[in-house]
Every structure is written in C-alpha cells, then in structure tokens.
C-alpha cells in the first residue's frame, strides 16, 4: 500500500518569497509524524497544500496515494483537519457543528447520528452536545474540532498547533484521545507544534526552518546525531553577555536573554564556570533533548513558542476557564 503521505520536491512562495524550498518526505500509514519549526518555517503552508487549500508552485504531494492537486475532492475524503485557528461556527451547538460536517461529506442521517454520538463520547463532550459553542472554553472547542475532524472517519489527521494555549491537563487529555485513535483505527497523524515535549513519543520528527527540511528521524536518532549537553547561563547584564559571546563564539543567544554553550567536554564547562560563575544570575545544565537538537541545528530555541502560547491563553481566557 502507498505511504499515507508522500511529498516530493515541493516548492511554494508568497509575494516572490520562497516559503517551501525543495521539500521531500514520506509518512508511513499509522505513524505519528511531528513537524517542528518556528513561525515562518513553512509548516502551515505545507499543511495547507496537503489539505488541498492551496497549490504548490511545483512538486507533488499525495495523501493515501492520491495527488492533492489532480484529485483534491478525492483527497479530502481521506483526511481530517484541525486548524491552528478555530473554524467552528460558534452560533451553532456542538451537535449542529457535527451535523453540518456530516452533511458536507454526504453521510446518511443514521450514520451522521451514530458518528456524532461516538465522537462526542470520545472527546467527553456528550453532556454539552446541545450547548452553543460560543459558550465553550478553549479546551472544549479544541476537543470539538477534533471530534468534527473524525466524523467522516479519515485515515489521515492533520493537526496544526492543536494544543497551543491549553492547560497541561487538557493537552494531556487530547493526546490521550489521539493515541487511542491511532491504536484503534491505525490513524496516521501529522502534527505541527511548539511543545517539543509532546512529540518525544512520535515515530518520526521532521525539523523545518526557512522552508528547508534540515533533519528528520526518530527522536532517539535525532538526539544521537545532533543532540548535545548544554550549559544555559543568564548573565548579570548585557556587558557580561557581550564579553561571553566574544570569548566563546560557539555560544547561542536565546530569546529569554540567556546564553547556551554546547558542552563538548567537562573541561570546557569547568573553564567557563571558573571565569564567569560570579557574574551569572542563573546556571543550569541540559542533557540531550529534542529542544537541544533544535537549538543545535537552527542556532535558537523554538523562538515564538512563548509568544504564541501567551496570545492563545489570553484569547482562551476571555472565553472562560478550561473545562
């Protein structure tokens, strides 16, 4: 059987600026595939192409063996999508949102009813089936969007930043639903996320930046190939930071104002601490993680994670607390 997703030599641009530059990868059926990258890396553009929402400049993209450019309608039958921004109709109830989605996909009345009941139970929203979505919290909306994406029983699920702004308990609950679906339905899941810790258990992790895929593999493979031990230090002031950056050209400046030094041997750490220990506000060591892999490959942290998280949390807060 063909791969769940196949992308070959994909190019895309906006206003003359290249957004995707010769992107190629494949996803096996039933795999969990994580796409990591900062804003502007090309993640959302890539997902939009796979979801048939925009055309590539050139190259090919297939889902379940179907060319998304040549057969977009057929391709849509195989995919479910949860967008970064909510696309629910908040004037309707949860049930009505699901009913409308079922109508769009041509599901018979009995099938629509059975599947709506099933997906609401899956995401623990059965008690709110008749409530207007406008009154839902951010977490409830996210769960309903996942339920809606599953109404027509897709074989591939695309999730664009599915848990941004949600509290840890709700995030964990959502990933539990998705893990259950993968086990029970052999569902293929492609996720873009800023929460690197959420993809530690992914089958494949793909790091993309400035439209290029710069690394791909299992979390273990990426850590072995690119991970390193880092010393994170927060200087007392900018003068100290500038002095350290000059003395250690390999050091990385992080958005939080701290510095990160890759530790190639213990002697390097000892020398650095002997020089600057008393001019630092904070010191910590970080063992190899996917975060350190991203830092090693791109020269920075996942830079917009905190800002995106705060914006989404403020928006969710205006709609009420998480439930």
Q: Are residues 19 and 33 in the same domain?
A: yes
CA 146 to chain centre: 14
Q: Are residues 108 and 191 in the same domain?
A: yes
Residue 322 counted as domain residue: no
Residue 106 counted as domain residue: yes
Which residues have C-beta within 8 Å of that of residue 115, sequence separation ≥ 6? 98, 102, 107, 150, 151, 152, 153
- pLDDT for the residue 300: 64
Q: Give the separation between CA 215 and CA 41, rounded to whole angstroms.
A: 13
Q: Are residues 151 and 293 in the same domain?
A: no
Taking CA atoms, 261 is separated from 236, 267, 304, in Å, by 16, 13, 21
Q: Give the separation between CA 12 and CA 154, rounded to whole angstroms.
A: 26
Residue 316 counted as domain residue: no
Taking the complete model, does pTM exceed 0.75, yes or no?
A: yes
* pLDDT tens across the length of the chain (323 residues): 679 999 999 999 988 899 999 999 999 999 999 998 877 888 889 999 999 999 999 999 999 999 999 999 999 999 999 988 888 999 999 999 999 999 999 999 999 999 999 999 988 899 999 999 999 988 899 899 999 999 999 999 999 888 877 788 888 888 888 888 888 888 999 998 877 888 888 999 999 988 999 999 999 999 888 877 889 999 999 999 999 999 999 888 887 788 988 887 889 999 999 999 899 999 988 888 888 788 778 776 654 443 444 344 334 333 334 44
Q: Are residues 216 and 248 in the same domain?
A: no
Q: Are residues 211 and 274 in the same domain?
A: no
Please count the structural domains in the chain: 2
Q: Are residues 79 and 208 in the same domain?
A: yes
Q: How many CB atoms lie within 10 A of CB 133?
A: 20
Q: Are residues 121 and 196 in the same domain?
A: yes
Q: Which tokens hold the place of 73? A: 């309608």
Residue 315 counted as domain residue: no
> Domain with 239 in it: what CATH number?
3.30.70
Q: Which tokens hold the place of 142? A: 């996210």
Tell which of 206, 222, 238 closes a domain. Answer: 222
Q: Are residues 15 and 73 in the same domain?
A: yes
Tell which of 179, 201, 222 closes a domain. Answer: 222
Contact of 24 with 71, CB cutoff 8 Å: no
- pLDDT for the residue 40: 80
> Domain with 75 in it: what CATH number?
3.40.50.300
Contact of 32 with 189, CB cutoff 8 Å: yes
Residue 119 counted as domain residue: yes
Residue 312 counted as domain residue: no
Q: Are residues 245 and 274 in the same domain?
A: yes
Q: Are residues 199 and 239 in the same domain?
A: no
Residue 318 counted as domain residue: no
**Pairing relation of β-strands 79-82 and 156-160?**
parallel
- pLDDT for the residue 305: 43
Q: Give the separation between CA 48 and CA 177, rounded to whole angstroms.
A: 24
- pLDDT for the residue 6: 95
Residue 114 counted as domain residue: yes
- pLDDT for the residue 287: 81
**Phi, psi of 307, rounded to the nearest 5 degrees:** -65, -45
Q: Are residues 9 and 79 in the same domain?
A: yes
Q: Are residues 54 and 143 in the same domain?
A: yes
Q: Tell me the residue range of the domain where 239 lies.
A: 224-307
Q: Give the separation between CA 38 and CA 257, rounded to whole angstroms.
A: 18
- pLDDT for the residue 292: 78
């Amino acid at each position: 059987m063909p791969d769940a997703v196949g992308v070959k030599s994909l190019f895309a641009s906006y206003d003359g600026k290249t957004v995707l530059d010769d992107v190629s990868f494949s996803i096996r059926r039933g795999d969990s595939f994580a796409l990591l990258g900062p804003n502007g890396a090309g993640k959302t553009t890539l997902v939009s192409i796979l979801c048939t929402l925009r055309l590539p400049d050139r190259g090919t993209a297939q889902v379940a063996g179907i060319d998304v450019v040549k057969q977009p309608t057929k391709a849509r039958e195989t995919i479910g999508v949860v967008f970064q921004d909510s696309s629910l109709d908040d004037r309707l109830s949860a049930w009505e949102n699901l009913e409308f989605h079922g109508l769009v996909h041509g599901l018979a009345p009995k099938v629509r009813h059975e599947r709506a009941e099933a997906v609401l139970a899956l995401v623990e929203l059965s008690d709110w089936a008749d409530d207007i979505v406008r009154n839902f919290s951010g977490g409830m909306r996210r769960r309903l969007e996942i339920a809606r994406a599953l109404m027509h029983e897709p074989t591939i699920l695309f999730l664009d930043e599915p848990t941004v702004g949600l509290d840890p308990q709700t995030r964990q609950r959502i990933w539990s639903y998705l893990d259950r679906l993968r086990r029970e339905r052999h569902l293929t899941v492609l996720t873009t996320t800023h929460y690197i810790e959420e993809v530690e258990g992914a089958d494949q992790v793909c790091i993309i930046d400035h439209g290029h895929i710069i690394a791909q593999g299992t979390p273990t493979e990426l850590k072995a190939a690119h991970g390193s031990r880092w010393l994170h230090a927060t200087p007392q002031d900018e003068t100290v930071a500038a002095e350290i950056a000059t003395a250690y050209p390999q050091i990385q400046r992080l958005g939080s104002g701290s510095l990160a030094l890759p530790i190639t041997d213990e002697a390097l750490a000892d020398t650095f601490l002997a020089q600057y220990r008393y001019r630092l506000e904070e010191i910590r060591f970080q063992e190899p993680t996917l975060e350190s892999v991203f830092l090693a490959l791109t020269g920075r942290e996942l830079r917009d994670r905190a800002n995106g998280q705060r914006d989404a949390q403020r928006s969710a807060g205006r709609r009420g607390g998480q439930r």
